[in-house]
Amino acid sequence: MFTCIEFENANGAYVITLNRPDKLNSFNQQMHQELKQALDTIEADKQARVLLFAAAGRGFCAGQDLADDAVTPGGDLGQVIEKYYNPLILRLTQLPIPVIAKVQGVAAGAGANLALACDLVYAGKSASFIQAFTGIGLLPDSGGTWQLPRLVGMARAMGLTLLGGKVPAEAAADMGMIWQCVEDEELDATVDAVMEKFSKAPTLALARTKQALRGSTSATLEQQLALECNYQRQLGNSADYAEGVASFGEKRTPNFSGN
């Protein structure tokens, strides 16, 4: 069904694997179209619990494939961004399930910002992140100019984007750009454990937590308090809250349905 990605589902635990390893998994139009189809499927699945973005080969994603006809110099790059990148980033941030990125090797340009759009980023120690845009006469897109100042502060965001240097995964974790850097040989097992945890988690509570956090940057304290109250009211009437309280009282592991 797909040639540029691999798409798997195990009881609501979805995995999208970027699969153009000979091109360092760089984006072309077909990959974007396949990603759209995969996300359509996930959004329609009421039993979806978690999504993992992984990549085949030695690198995560080198960004845009500059050999793709859509990005020929003199063309309308804005049209490519409007059609492909902006919808992709918005869909990832708005998915009502946790979205994880597993990064090995290089994540550059739009590939780096795809990872940063995920809720949790796990990277192997040999991985690196590069805002490689100014080196070819462009500015960071795919949400890079929005994400980076919020993640690492304006001074670091300026240095990362204007200089375009390589940031090792360990440094990225130290500055708060990503969630965790682990030894390369531990990356798969670490992410598998997180996927297992989220596949059994109270999914609605995770969704509301994600929505509340992502919306907080544009809200006043009063607005955020009201939002927390409304979400908590909804969660307090959920099956998972009832199960959480019951399991706590009975000193057993909760069996969350995701509802």
Tell me if domain 5-199 and domain 203-249 are identical in fold.
no
Please give the DSSP secondary-structure letter assigned to residue 185.
Answer: G
CATH number of 5-199: 3.90.226.10
Q: How do residues 8-65 score in pLDDT, each as one tens digit?
A: 999 999 999 999 999 999 999 999 999 999 999 999 999 999 999 999 999 999 999 9
Q: Which fold has domain 203-249?
A: Lyase 2-enoyl-coa Hydratase; Chain  A, domain 2 (1.10.12)
Beta strands in 25-171 (DSSP E): 50-55, 99-103, 106-108, 120-124, 128-130, 166-168
Name which of 12, 63, 4, 54 is nearest 34 in CA terms. 4
Number of H helices, E strands in the chain: 11, 9
pTM given for the model: 0.95
Q: Which one, of 55, 33, 11, 36, lies nearest residue 187 by Cα? A: 55
Residue-range domain boundaries for the chain: 5-199, 203-249
Q: What is the pLDDT of residue 1?
A: 82
Q: Tell me the percentage of the chain whose pLDDT exceeds 70.
A: 100
